Chain A
Amino acid sequence: MMRNFKQILDWARDRGRKRLAVPAPRSRRISQVLEVAEKNGLIIPVSVDVPDQAIAMAANGEVDLLFQGDAGMKEFIDALTAKGAGIAERESLSYVSIFELPSENRLIMLTDTLIQTFPDIRRKVRILENAIGFAGILGIEKPNIAALSTVELVNFHVPSSVDAAVLSKMSERRQLKGLIDGPLDIDCASSRERSRRKGLESPVAGQVDIYLLPDIESSYSIAEVLVFLGRRTLAGSLMGTRIPVVLNPRFESPDSLLLDMALASIRS
């Protein structure tokens, strides 16, 4: 089981260099990221003119990984999900952000921190399947998942609480891998003691591997809160693509992008 970022980097290095297609870098930042990743034995960069070209190469098996590089986020995702691109369907995409929890020597995931806006229950199932698959790659076989809301009881005014209850039931009936509990607020989810104080016996409280956030307003901004106010390096992975794709969200530093490439390499 991967417990920290160093293990991920080591593992990726052991797997050998992957061919990574990237639209021609325009910024010094991206050029440096590619240089460092190459120096670290993770990749061999293959520079192309436009995203479409990179995608065509990926579809033909000429490269192993795709990188957004300096392409715009919308332009790049549109190209990935264009009909005939063969890389992904838009509905199946989601993003997982990971951070290290040093005191417990383990990794924690948040999702969907970038792609789906206000996912309905069907999309949340997809987001969870993606995240559970990703946890499996990191060696977490049956991840503990908290479906977050603002309340612990189902409240029809709070949509995320209803979704969480359904997902929790689906987990109980083994319609989803992983152990999902919810609705839980972040306080209860992150501490068994606090959840007990509120009279909850949650099987995941205090041992959550994956936090499913209610919507993009909470998930994207919480990722930013972790970065800026928690001063965390977030690694991230775009899920739901046929070949691993590395994105370039604004809140990810060059260190994050290096980890993203390592994660993509592990998945390829």
Chain B
Amino acid sequence: MLIRSFAEAEEIARKVGPKKISVLKAENREFLLALKEAHQRGYGEPVLIGDERKIREIAGEIGFDISKFDVIDSRDPQEIADRGVRLAAMGETHFVLRGYIDGPPLYRSLIRTSAKGENKRQICVVALMQFPVLPKLIGLTDTGITVAPDFGAKMAIIKNAADLFSRLGYESPQVGIITARRGLNDDLDSVSDAIKLKEAFAKGEFPECRIVDGLSLSDFFLGTEGFLEGLDGVDYSRIPDILLVHNLEFGNIFVKIDSIAERDFFSGVRRHGFIVGAGIPTVIPSRADTHKTIITDIALGVLIS
């Protein structure tokens, strides 16, 4: 089933669940509130890893009965990440939910696990974005791990993102490569990488997806030669499902672009993040998220695991 909005993801997860969730550093009110509601909705049940005393204390405060769930007591971030990831790798949980833990220990655990697996692959962050103006969700990547991915890393990132989209019901997701090609000073690594990626695609390197024509949003919406006439004529269905960004500097700004005008033209933009490539479904809410947003992350975790 193809997921076109986060609301759909929440609905479908009710039917797909329940699943078991490794929660990394669970001692946070918003996360526990989210897990409580997720449990009520039938998304699944958590294995709560972190400071057990605090977890039980907060659970008590919010009336969340965790007596039936496993709680693993640990205060060391690397140990927390390692244990949660290992549970998922052994199949005892279905996916990992990043709780109140920093990124690096989790990345390390995932990279180590990936290195042990058969398909050793670069990991990356895919941000799934919902823009009110678009008829579907789009994935931006890599928005979190590699500062300046080279050609090989970009190959892996595309495969990772395509894998995630196939789990969200997209049969052969379209991939758009974004560069700054603009008819001026176009001798750019992003452009030469894009040409090589398209050649690799033509040789059948990416059976799981389609790399579309064009090298920029202007290309996707206006064709490679067109000029913007006006916004009313823009056909938003032409946006590719997955957008590959050249570097983290751009990815990081793009993924948070709504903050530049959140009370104006970007109100209603929503995002949810995943770490992909280690073979372990991992959802990464932001620590500033409220429980309502984290519930969606959990629903997405249910769908991709």
| B53 partner residues in chain A, CB cutoff 8 A | none
**Considering residues A149, A216, A219, A229, which has the most beta carbons from chain B within 10 angstroms of its beta carbon?**
A229
**In angstroms, how far is the closest chain A Cβ from the Cβ of B196?**
17
Question: When each residue 80-113 of chain A gets 1 if its CB lies under 8 Å from chain B and 0 otherwise, what string results?
Answer: 0000000000000000000001110000100000
| B200 partner residues in chain A, CB cutoff 8 A | none
| B141 partner residues in chain A, CB cutoff 8 A | none
Pair count A-B, CB < 8 A:
145
Contact yes or no, A150 B252, CB < 8 A: yes
- CB-nearest residue of chain A to B225: A250
Main secondary structure of the interface of B (DSSP, over half): loop
- Whether A129 sits at the interface, judged by CB under 8 Å, is no
Number of interface residues of A (CB under 8 A): 55
Contact yes or no, B257 A221, CB < 8 A: no
Which residue of the partner chain, among A101, A190, A222, contacts B259 with CB atoms under 8 Å? A190
A149 to B256, CA, bound (A): 12
- Whether A175 sits at the interface, judged by CB under 8 Å, is no
Given contacts A115-B184, A191-B259, A215-B249, A225 and B227 within 8 Å (CB-CB): no
Among B150-158, B213-221, B275-283, the stretch in contact with A:
B213-221
| A158 partner residues in chain B, CB cutoff 8 A | 147, 248-249
A103 to B263, CA, bound (A): 7
**In angstroms, how far is the closest chain B Cβ from the Cβ of A207?**
13
A224 to B230, CA, bound (A): 13
A98 to B298, CA, bound (A): 39
A193 to B298, CA, bound (A): 27
Among B24-32, B42-50, B175-183, the stretch in contact with A:
B175-183
Contact yes or no, A216 B180, CB < 8 A: yes
Given contacts A228-B234, A252-B228, A148 and B253 within 8 Å (CB-CB): yes
Which residue of the partner chain, among A148, A150, A213, A226, contacts B248 with CB atoms under 8 Å? A150
| A228 partner residues in chain B, CB cutoff 8 A | 217-218, 221, 231, 234
Question: When each residue 168-206 of chain A gets 1 if its CB lies under 8 Å from chain B and 0 otherwise, what string results?
Answer: 000000000000000001110011001001000000000
**In angstroms, how far is the closest chain A Cβ from the Cβ of B137?**
13
Contact yes or no, B184 A77, CB < 8 A: yes
**In angstroms, how far is the closest chain A Cβ from the Cβ of B208?**
25
Question: When each residue 51-92 of chain A gets 1 if its CB lies under 8 Å from chain B and 0 otherwise, what string results?
Answer: 000000000000000000000111001000000000000000
A212 to B174, CA, bound (A): 32
Which residue of the partner chain, among B188, B217, B252, B263, contacts A185 with CB atoms under 8 Å? B252
| A149 partner residues in chain B, CB cutoff 8 A | 249
A220 to B183, CA, bound (A): 12
**Considering residues A77, A215, A248, which has the most beta carbons from chain B within 10 angstroms of its beta carbon?**
A215
Interface residue ranges of B77-93 to A (CB < 8 Å): none
Contact yes or no, B253 A73, CB < 8 A: no
Contact yes or no, A225 B190, CB < 8 A: no
A211 to B186, CA, bound (A): 23
Contact yes or no, B257 A29, CB < 8 A: no
Which residue of the partner chain, among B180, B188, B226, B249, contacts A150 with CB atoms under 8 Å? B249
**In angstroms, how far is the closest chain B Cβ from the Cβ of A190?**
4
| B254 partner residues in chain A, CB cutoff 8 A | 218, 221-222, 225
Which residue of the partner chain, among B180, B234, B263, contacts A220 with CB atoms under 8 Å? B180
Complex A-B: 18 CB contacts under 8 Å: A101-B264, A149-B249, A157-B147, A186-B253, A187-B259, A190-B262, A213-B253, A216-B180, A217-B188, A219-B180, A222-B250, A224-B217, A225-B257, A227-B231, A230-B265, A230-B266, A231-B133, A253-B231
Closest 3 A/B residue pairs (Cβ): A218-B250, A150-B252, A224-B217
Q: Residues on B close to A: CB < 8 A?
A: 131, 133-134, 147, 178-180, 182-185, 188, 190, 216-218, 221-222, 226-231, 234, 245-250, 252-254, 256-257, 259-266, 288
